[in-house]
Amino acid sequence: MSGIRPSLYHQPTQGLETSLIWDRFEMRGLVHNVVNIRDMMTTMMTFLRSPLGLLTRLPLLLALSFAMLLGACDRTVDKQLADYDAAQTTLGVTPKQFAARFNERLRLVLTEMNVDEPEHMARLYMLDPERLHPGQYEYVLDTKVGPAQTTLIGTLNKKGELRNVGVMLTNKTPGAREEFLVCAVSAARSFISTGQDKLLPLVTRLTTVALDNPGQRMTEVVADQMLSVELVPQGVLFQVQPRQ
């Protein structure tokens, strides 16, 4: 594993990709509009030979042209959004599959952290597969575990696979920080199979450095996953997501 790499806190790349999508859409729309205008001018010149025909058919002509333009716009936007969604990398599991992995790794993490009765304590942090979403909003992972109510969050693609998993520390008590590390390392172990014994010191170090450097995002690439810790308005956020 390489050293910790800080990067200035920035907005997700999704905004840039969305901007590029709209730029391409506007260029295609411009070309399409030029073709439509040419066809409309040809038709209108024909109608001008008959003023009565122009007056009676002009509303229909404008309505049809407007409908054609809207249809083309809808198809272009749908295609661009579909292409964008397909290009997004994911962690390859659904929230329920992640919950199973997470729960299986809790005991090992607690043992590594020298917590007494790790099997018993693991039950405090287990994810409930039936309570992974807030209400009816099944397009996100959003749940809480443990006495300190540590938050686990994540976004999904259209197939229901997780794009990322985040662990949020909002409570400043010592017990809450330990709970944050338990959840963060268990989340990392859910997607990284090699060098798992090095994940606890790595996540601890990333968290410490992030706390000392507000405004910077500390990252480390392990295998095919990127781990990061940063300060956000709600607290401290740990994330695991595919390497881009």
DSSP, collapsed to helix, strand or coil, labels residue 36 as helix
Assign 8 a pLDDT band (cuts: 50, 70, 90).
Answer: very low
Q: Which residues contact 148 (CB under 8 A, 6 or more apart)?
A: 171, 173, 175, 176, 179, 180
pLDDT at residue number 70:
65
Percent over 90 (pLDDT), the chain = 57
d(CA 86, CA 72): 21
Longest dimension (CA), the chain: 93
Averaged pLDDT for residues 121-139: 87
Lowest mean pLDDT among 71-80, 91-100, 102-111, 187-196: 71-80
d(CA 222, CA 57): 66
- pLDDT for 91 beyond 70: yes
Mean pLDDT of 70-79: 59
User: What is the sign of the dihedral through the CA atoms of 167, 227, 182 and 122?
Assistant: positive
Cα separation values, 48 from 90, 221, 229, Å: 58, 68, 68
Q: What is the band of 134 on the pLDDT scale with cuts at 50, 70, 90? A: confident
Question: Once rounded to an integer, what is the mean pLDDT over residues 219-242?
Answer: 96
Tokens 């907005």, located at residue: 11
Other Cβ atoms within 10 Å of 201 Cβ, number: 11
> What does pLDDT average to over the chain?
78
Task: Give the model confidence (pLDDT) of 19-45 as tens digits.
Answer: 333 343 343 443 344 445 455 555 545
pLDDT in tens, 143-193: 999 999 999 999 999 899 999 999 999 988 889 999 999 999 999 999 999
Beta bridge partners of 165: 240
pLDDT band at 244 (very low <50, low <70, confident <90, very high): confident
Rounded Cα–Cα distance for residues 129 and 126 (Å) = 9
Looking at 63-67, 93-97, 108-112, which range is the least confident one? Answer: 63-67
From CA 27, how far away is CA 89, in angstroms rounded?
A: 27
